[in-house]
Amino acid sequence: MALLVMLSSACTDRGITGPTPTTGESHPGFDTSIYPGDAEMQAWLRPSSPYEWVGYYLQSPCHRDPSWMGKRQTLTTMGWGLAVLYVGQQTFDGVPDVLFEEDFQSSAVTCSRTLLTTEEGTADAIDAVTKTASEGFPNGTAIFLDIEHMDAIPASMEAYYRAWVQQVLADGRFRPGVYVHRDNAESIHSGIERAYSDMNASGSAVYWVTSPTGFSLDASPSDVGFPWASVWQGIYEVSQTWNGATINIDIDIATTSSPSSP
């Protein structure tokens, strides 16, 4: 999951490539930070490519690029399934979002480990829900909070993501999801289960797990090692050309052809 903030990804699996995708029983999809363009997405529409769905990046604290915003109707009309992504706060430092006001320059850091708080988790969840609604996604859509790889999960991150999940639950319109590295998945799954319990909420979050180990487009997402995984990302930063259009992508499989759909 590439972060559009000119910083080094904390995910240690970046840069691994893999085989040319073939169709299997699971539903292949891809994600890429910057919107490729309407012509490219039309060119890649199945059966021109094997992919059925694509990651849909909301503008967010650690993904300031707005190029996906406003493209939901275009993509669904084409026939693409979607996985809504919100890149929240991370355990590493980001860069300032620079604002210009006449001749005065100021900056505000929008992506940083210093913002991993309960309060920020709540605020970011409100932002994610507001943007998902404004993009026209229906009630029940799953929003995946992107949490990049961590060698150790600090208490501040647990406070942040639990507050984010609980605010999405409290709002009630959409479902919480999480994108998480396999090394951190068990711990974060347990933390989210506790967040649900604290809210007396039924059901469970939707999980998108990333790891290259054993990945195949003929596998099931649960083969990543967790029965509750609905999406598995396993090939990173590979350029592919389909129907004359080239896009640099990460490759995924999912249990459905539109992972965020109700």
List pLDDT tens digits, range 51-108.
999 999 999 999 999 999 999 999 999 999 999 999 999 998 766 655 444 444 556 7
Whole-structure pTM value: 0.89
pLDDT in tens, 180-214: 999 999 999 999 999 999 999 999 999 999 999 99
**DSSP character for 241?**
E
Average of per-residue pLDDT across 133-160: 98
CA–CA dist 211, 214 (Å, integer): 8
Residue 114 tokens, joined: 């210093």
The candidate with the shortest Cα–Cα distance to 207, out of 239, 182, 235, is: 182
pLDDT at 130: 98
The candidate with the shortest Cα–Cα distance to 84, out of 119, 130, 45, is: 130
- Give first-to-last CA distance, the chain, whole Å: 23
Give the CATH H-level superfamily of domain 27-254.
Glycosidases (3.20.20.80)
Average of per-residue pLDDT across 135-145: 98
**Which residues contact residue 74 at a Cβ distance below 8 angstroms, ignoring those fewer than 6 apart?**
38, 41
Cα dist from 215 to 17, 18, 257, whole Å: 11, 9, 18
Q: Which residue has the tokens 């711990």?
A: 187
CA–CA dist 176, 129 (Å, integer): 10
The candidate with the shortest Cα–Cα distance to 63, out of 41, 24, 34, 36, is: 34
- DSSP lists the bridge partners of residue 248 as 239
Q: Is 248 exposed, middle or buried (CB count within 10 Å of its CB: 0-12, 13-18, 19+)?
A: middle
